[in-house]
Amino acid sequence: MSGFCLKGGLIQFTQSFPLPVPKVIVFQYNPESMTHGWTPATTNPGTPGQSSDPLAVTGQPQETFSFTLAMDSNDTIADGDVVSAGIAKETGVYTRLAALEMLLFPVAPSSGGLIGGVTATLGFIGGRSPTPKQQVPPALLPMVLFVWGPRIVPVRVTALSITEKLYDATLLNPTHVEAQITLRVLTQDELKYVQGPIGTLAYIAYSYSQALRGAQAIINEENAGSSIIGMLPV
């Protein structure tokens, strides 16, 4: 008997009244590996003509997660419930792909949610471009939380590359896919510009993950070898 397996996922939030509505994308399979990258904070060049500390920095370090997600409709048909199996038979994994792709599209503030984003996108069909009033500000990209065990961080999808490997024989819906995803964690300075309940939720998630990181670092300090400390010149 296989044990319970905690799945990672992405949670999309868009503005709606009275509270934002989450749309959850649960990973069908957890990625086998993940690249957790860091870019140090920018060195502060200082004011021209004045001396400055060459070690001083501005801003915060940039944190990224990169991984590959595998999706397969045959497993969903075999192991899923009646509803999910039925969807997989009709569409393969296309619904999962569409949910990932929509994370890159801004949503219309007046319509709200996924429907608003689809409405704005349809303006391009048939060579018809939306009027300036229909354009959606980039700041209204959906807020996304990346959930990986105890780590819960607000992110923006910065890269999405999909490799479709197999298709069904009827409508050529993709049935086996690998999606390469890169997420950039939003910094505390950037979260100041996220307004309303979504901003509060994103800030809480960021603060929680920072506190967890700090606590883990303290545990490491308590386990540090005293022999190494004794080698330091004093």
- Locate 43 and state its tokens: 């060195």
Give the C-alpha separation, 152 to 210, whole Å: 10
SS3 143: strand
What's the pLDDT score for residue 63? Answer: 97
What count of residues does the chain have? 234
pLDDT tens by residue, 90-128: 999 999 999 999 999 987 654 444 444 444 444 545 555
- pLDDT tens digits for 136-156? 444 467 889 999 999 999 999
What tens digit of pLDDT does each residue of 6-24 get?
Answer: 999 999 987 776 777 899 9
